[in-house]
Structure formats: C-alpha cells, structure tokens
Amino acid sequence: MSFSSLGLSPAILHAVAERGYATPTPVQVAAIPAILRGADVLAAAQTGSGKTAAFALPLLQFLQDGRTDKPRKLRVLILVPTRELAQQTAESIRALAQACPHSLKIAALFGGVSINPQMMDLRGGADLVVATPGRLLDLIEHNALKLSDVASLVLDEADRLLDMGFSDEITRILALLPGQRQSLFFSATFPTAVHALAGRMLHQPVRIAVPALAQNQPDIEQRAIMVDAGRRTQLLRHLLKENQWGRVLVFVATKYSAEHIADKLHRAGIKAAAFHGEFSQGARDEVLADFKASKLQVLVATDVAARGIDIAQLPVVLNYDLPRSAVDYTHRIGRTGRAGKSGIAISFVSADTEAHFHLIEKRHNLKCEREQIAGFEPVDIATAPAAPAAAANGGIKGKRKSKKDKLREAAARDENE
C-alpha cells in the first residue's frame, strides 16, 4: 500500500514525501480515504500508530482545496488533553503544511500560560486550531475566536480527555459547533464513558481498529522484573549501566518520587531530570528539549506530565511504579516503539504489586515472564500479601492512597535505600 493510492492530492503527497514517510501506517490506510470522503470516523488507535498524520493529511487537503480569503475562518478544530500534545500536534501539522502551496494558519491553544499571546496570535483568524478544551472556552469567552465555521472536529486521545475531567467542557464545545460537520474520534481505549461520548458525537462512523498494542505490536518487548520496592533505584542504576540504552522514560506515581529519584540518579552521575505537572511551562519545554536533544538520558515522569509526549525513537520506557490502570499501561508503553521502531517496556514488580500487574496483564491478554536480575533478587516474596490492596503505586482504582500516605511511604523507602 502506498500513499498515492489513498486519494491524496499531489500537494499533500509532496508534503508526505518531504516529511520522509514512505508507506502509510494501518490507521492511515483506513482513515485517510474515509476522511477525504467526508465520513465520520471512530478509530481505536494509540500514540505511535501514526494517527496524527491519519487525520492531519486529509484535513490539510480539505483546507488547501477550500481555502478562503482573509480573515481566515476556523474550519478545523482538534481537541487534545494536554498542552504538550497541543504543541506537538500543532508542530507536526505545521511541518506537513509547510510543503503545501497555500499557507495556512495553525494555532496551538492551551492553558497554564498567559492567554494574551494566544489572543494576539488569533488576530486575523486561524484555519486550524489544536486546543485543550478549557483554554479554548476561555478564548471563545474573550471573543478571540468562534466555532461557527468549523467543518471538521477531531477528538484526539478521547479517553484521556475524559480521564482528565474535560467532559463538561467537551459538551459545551459541542453545543457551539455547527450541527453539520465531520467528527473524527480517536482513542486508545474504549471504556463506557468514551463509547457514550462517541455515540453522542458521531454519525454513522467508519470504524477503524488498529490492532491493540499489547498483543499486536511485536516491536515493543514487554518485560517484568521482580525487585523489592526499596531496591528499585539501585536496580535502575544497574540497568542503566549495563545496557546501551539511549533515552529512558521512567514512570513514577508521584511528583515527590519524580524529584527524589531524578535527584538520586543525578548524584550518581546519570544525566537525569524530573518531569511533573508542577513545573512551569517554560521549565517543561526546557527539560523536554534537553531530553529530545539527548542532553538528558533519563526523564523521571508522572503520568500527567508525560501524557502525549512524542519523542521519536524512544527506546525504553520503564515503570518504576506500576500504572494505576491497564489504560495507563497502554499509554505509557505507547511512548516507545514508535512507527516501526522497536522499543522495550520494563515494569518493576514487587511482592506488593504482583497482583496488580497480573490484573494489567489479564486486561491486555498478555503474559510477561517474571525476570530476576542477579544481585537484585527479591527477598520479600515469601511475605507477599495475596491481595493488591496495599500496592506501593497507589493500588487499583478506588483504593487510592492519600498524598500523605504516599509521602510517608516514599520517606520510608528513602531510609531503606
């Protein structure tokens, strides 16, 4: 299958070639012709599947064909859950749009930074906006843009949007959009609430299911290493020393752990930094740029901060703390093995978290052999509780620990290390 058989115009094919994409990914093969036809789309696709180009290419073609004179009218709206994803999506669409004959205005709108520059940016209009829902509504209230000309709406990472509590904002935005429009819905997972939202939004959608990550992406080697909770930092240092990994994204449960572990690695001479939600936007951008430029080898991140990070060829993702849910597991390991590149996803599992990891495996129909690393064999197994209620990572949903509990546990762990 080639890009030229999908119905894309010569201008867009040129943009694809400029970007260096040789063959379309499965989600692109399925979505591009449907979107060009004007159909609604419901796609189960994860980050790394090439989903951004899957919706961006046909929508850019639509904007190129139907371009309007100034002031520019907002015709394509893409909603995303985080500012990082807003920036990255806008960046990749700009890169594709650059090679197109007619210049398009693409704006990224997200919270956590001053609204004024974004208002300035919207003067004269925009053709395509990538936005987080809260900031988009703020800008509409400030009369900085309106949605009455939107012809295509994309919900990207719909499960994340709902996970992050954007349900009300999405409802308000849907009410402001023209009833006659194309809606494209992308989500890695489909819990009930996501299904319900898709049902409300979509009209006879073309359904696309790219094979689920855990079973069908042989490019990602999934490993589980048994280790006592108190020895995880030492094991991480050992693994970093023993393996020729480039960049490693380490996931932890709390901001405190992110800071603490990054600090320990740093003091051990490893180029590591924390990455969590309390950093300013400037600080996040800087850390991310250093990581992308390989000035940092290890990023110790929380789920919230790491959502949507797109770093090409991230070879290793490591779950220092297990994710709270099977959905988070999918999202975390989706950070590696991007578009045909191979990757490794390692989970540290201890006696306390074994049952929780087993649940994640069951959800994904996955079976990871439990490995042990010489010198780091766990000693806690004999006393392991049967149930996961006291999992060190916050356990299963509904049994979440308080912040204080987590801090206390982290402090107790420090004393052991």
Q: What's the CA gap between 298 and 265, in Å, rounded?
A: 9
Of 47-55, 226-234, 273-281, 401-409, the segment contacting ligand AMP by CB under 6 A is 47-55
* 52 lies in the binding site for ligand AMP (CB under 6 A): yes
Q: Residues 45, 188: contact at Cβ < 8 Å? A: yes
Helix (H, G, I), strand (E, B) or coil at 246: coil
Nearer residue to ligand AMP within complex by CB, 56 or 194:
56
C-beta of 244: minimal distance to ligand AMP in Å?
23
Among 31, 50, 93, 309, binds ligand AMP (CB under 6 A): 50
* 232 lies in the binding site for ligand AMP (CB under 6 A): no
Containing 41, the helix (H) or strand (E) segment is: strand 41-44
Of 48-56, 136-144, 237-245, 355-363, the segment contacting ligand AMP by CB under 6 A is 48-56
Nearer residue to ligand AMP within complex by CB, 312 or 386:
312
Q: Residues 342, 221: contact at Cβ < 8 Å? A: yes
C-beta of 57: minimal distance to ligand AMP in Å?
9
* 190 lies in the binding site for ligand AMP (CB under 6 A): no
* 47 lies in the binding site for ligand AMP (CB under 6 A): yes
> Strands across the sheet with 152-155, in order?
106-109, 128-131, 76-79, 152-155, 182-187, 41-44, 206-209
Among 14, 21, 112, 207, binds ligand AMP (CB under 6 A): 21
- The pair of structure tokens assigned to 63 is 């904007």
Of 17-25, 57-65, 351-359, 381-389, the segment contacting ligand AMP by CB under 6 A is 17-25
C-beta of 136: minimal distance to ligand AMP in Å?
21
Of 24-32, 247-255, 287-295, 314-322, the segment contacting ligand AMP by CB under 6 A is 24-32
C-beta of 353: minimal distance to ligand AMP in Å?
29
* 17 lies in the binding site for ligand AMP (CB under 6 A): no
C-beta of 147: minimal distance to ligand AMP in Å?
24
Q: Residues 395, 356: contact at Cβ < 8 Å? A: yes
Helix (H, G, I), strand (E, B) or coil at 362: helix
Site string for ligand AMP, 317-336 (x = CB under 6 A): --------------------
C-beta of 339: minimal distance to ligand AMP in Å?
3
Helix (H, G, I), strand (E, B) or coil at 64: helix
* 315 lies in the binding site for ligand AMP (CB under 6 A): no
C-beta of 17: minimal distance to ligand AMP in Å?
11
6 burial via Cβ count (<10 Å: 0-12, 13-18, 19+): buried
* 24 lies in the binding site for ligand AMP (CB under 6 A): yes
Residue type, 110: F
Site string for ligand AMP, 58-87 (x = CB under 6 A): ------------------------------
- The pair of structure tokens assigned to 269 is 């001479």
User: Residue 137: CB partners within 8 Å, gap ≥ 6?
Assistant: 169, 172, 173
Count the site residues for ligand AMP by CB under 6 A: 16
Q: What's the CA gap between 96 and 21, in Å, rounded?
A: 11
Give, rounded to a whole angstrom, the gap between the first and last alpha carbons of the chain.
53
Q: What's the CA gap between 152 and 128, in Å, rounded?
A: 10
Among 49, 152, 254, 325, binds ligand AMP (CB under 6 A): 49
Q: To the nearest 10°, the Cα dihedral for 12, 18, 19, 20?
A: 120
Among 105, 284, 338, 406, binds ligand AMP (CB under 6 A): 338
User: Residue 238: CB partners within 8 Å, gap ≥ 6?
Assistant: 373, 375, 376
Q: Residues 86, 171: contact at Cβ < 8 Å? A: no
Q: To the nearest 10°, the Cα dihedral for 279, 282, 285, 286?
A: -100
* 25 lies in the binding site for ligand AMP (CB under 6 A): yes
Nearer residue to ligand AMP within complex by CB, 339 or 381:
339
Binding footprint of ligand AMP on the chain (CB under 6 A): 21, 24-25, 28, 47-53, 92, 310, 312, 338-339
